[in-house]
A and B are shown apart, each in its own frame.
Chain A
Amino acid sequence: MKRRQGTIGEFEQLVLLAILRLKEEAYGPNISEELERKAGRRVSRGALYSSLDRLQQKGLLQWQIEATSSDRGGHPRRRFEVTRTGIAALREYRKALTRLWAGLEEVLG
């Protein structure tokens, strides 16, 4: 089963949203913390980094490598940004959701 190019899964959506919320602070550990805090779910780092790579391949996000001081043992840091395509995809998703939500307020409350 193949997904249509540009559409995103639920977890990917959450990741993109977390990055947008974190703005300039969108580093790996912060993203997982944000997801755990706001979305209330435990995030496996394996799944997280795998999704980040996939989103980058789809062109929905990009990253910058930043050198760090010695407190990370000299390991560089990756700061993530949602691309314009990414924002468009999120909008598309929200639009679809809103259309589907419309008229269901009674059932779902």
Chain B
Amino acid sequence: MNAEERRPPVAAEALLRKVLPDDAVGRSVVGDLGEEYRRRAQLHARSAHRWYWREALAIAFHSTRDRIAKRAASTTAVSDPVGKGDGMLRRIWSDLRVGARTLWRTPGFTLVAAITLALGIGANTAIFSLVDGILLRPLPYDEANRLVGVWNTAPGVDVEQVSQSPALHFTYEDEGTVFEELGLWNRGTVAITGLDEALQEDAIWVTDGTFRVLRVQPVIGRRFSREDDTPDTPRTAILSYKYWLSRFAGDPEVLGRTLIADGIARQIIGIMPADFRLLGNDPAIYLPMRWDRSEIFVGQFSFRSLGRLKQDVTLEQATAEMTRLLPIAVEKFPGGMKLEHVEEARLAPLLTPLKTDVIGNVGDVLWVLLGTAAMVLLIACANVTNLSLVRAEGRDREVAVRTAMGAARTRIASQFITETAVLGVVGCVLGLGLAYGGLQVLLAMAPTNLPRLDEISISPMVLLFTVGVTVLACLAVSLLSLFRYGQFNLVSALKEGGRGASGSRQRNRARNALVVAQVALAIVLLIGSGLMVRSFRALMAVEPGFRDPESVLTLRVSIPSAEVEDLSEMAQTHEMIARRIDELPGVTSVGLSTSITMDGAAGFDPIFVEQFPLSEGQLPPVRTFKWIGEGYFATMGNPVLAGRPITRADLYERARVVVITENLALEYWNSPAEAIGKRIGTGIEEGDWRTIVGVVGNVRDNGMSQDAATVVYWPMITPHPWQELVGDSVFASRDMAYAIRSDRTGTAGFLDEIRQAIWSVNSNLPLANVRTLEDILDRSTARTSFTLVMLGVATAVALLLGVVGVYGVISYVVTQRTREIGVRIALGAQTGTVMKMVLRHGLILAGTGVTAGLLAALGLTRLMSSLLYGVNPVDAITYVSVAAGTTMIVLLASYLPARKAAAVDPLEALRAE
């Protein structure tokens, strides 16, 4: 290696920079050391390395010492001219030293107590940093409290919350007075061509107001203007920072260059900041929506919308004004819903704080987890208190002697508090370490759809919380010690001496109460975990509408009109690709659909049923729509219950047929078979009838924990149901999902072969969203399994601490009563009787704790009912098994001390006195 290239050890150099002042002097020292290092490294690299470390540590030591000395000199000189506070400070210092020394002398106690506290504090810190990062911190936008999500509600047709219609959006933007700015946006993908490889990238379409609402400026270039967002103007695009770095290597010259997205050239006008997310989304590219206002009507409720309220405008005021504007929208943008439809649906605007839109329902999970962590801390505190009570007992003599020698009671009390504080500091530092490590694990295993993950850190707020929690824990622990020494009886303590008489009933009562509390808390956590296990099992038992998801690979291919203009030809291209993939070795079957189960890509439209005409003014129900090719049901593993699936012939003949799910069939008819041959339709009005040729099993399209969706499957190319509205005679989706069933899924090279198969048909087609059906399924159960694991870990810790607590107390009592037990045995008590006596003590503790825990659980588990699936919060099986299990464990923990008691040798016991 060349001498010039030798670098001193990075960590040691970082340490130097940290301890030295960041000025010319500090840097000159770093330079000196580096220079010497290089000289030494030429002779012997390894010893130079060691040398550098040694000297860096020496410098760190000296400079820290000098700095502390300097600060001490200046503070004593200024703040304490008369030396009055000196006594107080010196006393605290001496307390600290004595405290540390006492703890050092009993390493066993110190270690156990510090680790116990650290577990409690660490768990709270880790969970709180999630709560802080996700729930508490304001969104990373300017004046985020004025941002709202704009939705609609339509209780008349049982719709709680539905997205925005462009017609309503533009009405509010033009006529409204309550918003500073409004934005409309939606997500999708675009094919980027013209760069080295064709790729399908995530994109977000926005109106020009969207970035103004969030008050965000591109780092270079400009935002979309009103002109960019108008049809018939030059096309523009803004890149995300990530995409700019990865595809253009951060080249600032990229502004003004042309990008081909979906076959259309667009000029790049800006780059968004690195940390900018549009409500958690970080697409590759932003495109203007460019609405043509003549084509808008009150409908198309499928766009997200956000707004910034003007200063001092409340949600209620804004909603009231927007409600008044609804009829104007119907008038302004005709062709969609009419006024009577709006009234019948009771359509109304719905504003939500934007934060709710971002974080969704994850708050439930986090608060439950924080509550769990708090319980673990309580248990930890109870344990530490118990330990220090036991230890304090041994020190009664010491305290008595000190009191007799004239030590003030407050002085003794402050000594105990200081000791606990030292313990607390150790626990706090260890806990922070645990939290930091735990957080890394947590973030790695947290569900990917947990929002704002990149904003989570151990922030000053979290540190403050940790310190607060530590102080509380210390207070709780020292309160009992204080209480004890406040009413300390000098004479009796001296008299009792070392004799472990069983007289200190009061103390035993305190200890028993603590153990009961521990058992009760552990019961609550166990029941919480038990309910989650039952929910998870119930979820797993749900029939999702597919089989063996691990062997189904899914991906999306989109054919832009620039590649294949004609729709029939385009659909044939999809089919051809599917056939090529089907020919690959190991592939069982391939199915095409606009949406795979649970991928969230399905469409929604109204249906009419010929046999059941709607009455005057009645709105048709809205159902899930998917457009599929041949072999889709077979690939997914969804059985055909009656009739037949969609065939290739249906596609070629543009047959007017559909397949529906079982639950939709049963909504209108008595059995799946009865639905065959009946006709349904969609569109603005009834009349375009399609025959039901098959009924398939139910699918959980909205997630495993949701009711099965009612789905209508259409042939992927079919006579257009909205022909008069759109003008095209056939309908076919350019963007199709491929489901590929093969035992080679997940093996090396398989994806490459699929890619080659696609490109053998058309080499300009990018593929996107490659994942297995299992990935999609996991995503749907992620929240439940995440909660389950977190609760499980917390419960394991709680149970462990609880068992240790019970064991500790019982065995302590046994030791204390050794003499009494010895006398009993000497007087003829059987070993069985002695064991029974000790076990009875354990049983009483267990019984009381279990009862209290069950009662608490009855109240507390209700709070987590939104996380449960298919199980009642008051689930008898869980309650009974947890109660029985815990009683068994507590008895087991008492069994060991009981055996010890039975083995007491009366002679030994009496002689020991």
Contact = CB atoms under 8 A, between A and B. Distances in A.
Interface of A: 27-29, 32, 44-47, 49-50, 53-54, 63, 65, 68, 71-73, 75-78
A90 B61 CA distance: 29
Given A65-B24, A65-B25, A78-B25, A72 B35 contact: yes
Contacts of B35: 29, 72
Nearest to B39: A29
Given A50-B65, A65-B25, A75-B27, 12 more contacts: A28-B32, A45-B59, A46-B57, A46-B59, A46-B60, A49-B29, A49-B63, A53-B66, A71-B4, A72-B31, A75-B28, A76-B31
B683 interface: no
B480 interface: no
A68 B34 CA distance: 13
7 contacts: A28-B32, A44-B55, A65-B28, A68-B31, A73-B34, A76-B31, A78-B24
B63 A46 contact: yes
Contacts of A27: 32
B36 interface: yes
B25 A77 contact: no
A49 B27 CA distance: 13
B58 A72 contact: no
B732 interface: no
B55 A46 contact: yes
B28 A78 contact: yes
B36 A29 contact: yes
B648 interface: no
A104 B24 CA distance: 48
A46 B19 CA distance: 12
The 7 A-B pairs with the shortest beta carbon distances in the complex, nearest first, are A75-B31, A46-B58, A28-B32, A46-B62, A50-B62, A45-B55, A78-B28
Classify the secondary structure of A's interface with B. Answer: helix
B93 to A, nearest CB: 20
Contacts of A72: 31, 34-35
Interface in B1-40: 4, 24-25, 27-36, 39
B202 to A, nearest CB: 42
B34 A49 contact: no
Contacts of B65: 50
Contacts of B36: 29, 32
Contacts, number: 66
- Give the bracket for the number of chain B residues in contact with chain A: 20 to 34
A63 B25 CA distance: 10
B42 to A, nearest CB: 14
Given A29-B36, A50-B63, A75 B30 contact: yes
Interface string B815-856: 000000000000000000000000000000000000000000
A29 B24 contact: no
Contacts of B59: 45-46, 49
B56 to A, nearest CB: 8
Interface centre among B31, B34, B57, B58 (most CB of A within 10 A): B31
A76 B24 contact: yes
B31 A49 contact: no
Contact of B32 (A29, A46, A54, A65): A29
Contacts of B30: 75
Contacts of B25: 63, 65, 78
B26 to A, nearest CB: 10
B223 to A, nearest CB: 39
A62 B710 CA distance: 86
Interface centre among B24, B32, B59, B66 (most CB of A within 10 A): B32
A77 to B, nearest CB: 6
Contacts of A71: 4
B62 A75 contact: no
A65 B28 CA distance: 8
B5 to A, nearest CB: 12
Contacts of B24: 65, 76, 78
A47 B32 CA distance: 14
A73 B58 contact: no
B82 to A, nearest CB: 20
B821 to A, nearest CB: 61
Interface centre among B27, B33, B60, B63 (most CB of A within 10 A): B27
A45 B58 contact: yes
Contacts of A47: 58, 62
Contacts of B31: 68, 72-73, 75-77
Contacts of A78: 24-25, 28-29, 32
Nearest to A65: B24
Interface string B148-185: 00000000000000000000000000000000000000
Given A65-B28, A75-B27, A75-B28, A45 B61 contact: no
A54 B34 CA distance: 23
Interface in B60-116: 60-63, 65-66
B46 to A, nearest CB: 19
Contacts of A76: 24, 27-28, 31
B41 to A, nearest CB: 14
A46 B32 CA distance: 12
A75 B34 contact: yes
Contacts of B61: 46
A91 B35 CA distance: 33
A50 B33 CA distance: 14
Contact of A49 (B4, B39, B57, B62): B62
B342 to A, nearest CB: 70
Contacts of A29: 32, 35-36, 39
Contacts of A77: 28, 31-32
Contacts of B57: 46
A45 B56 CA distance: 8
Nearest to A28: B32
B691 to A, nearest CB: 80
Nearest to A66: B28
A8 B124 CA distance: 54
A27 B27 CA distance: 14
Interface centre among A32, A44, A68 (most CB of B within 10 A): A44
A49 B62 CA distance: 8
Nearest to A46: B58
B33 A45 contact: yes
Nearest to B33: A45
Nearest to A44: B58
Contacts of B32: 27-29, 45, 75, 77-78
B28 to A, nearest CB: 4
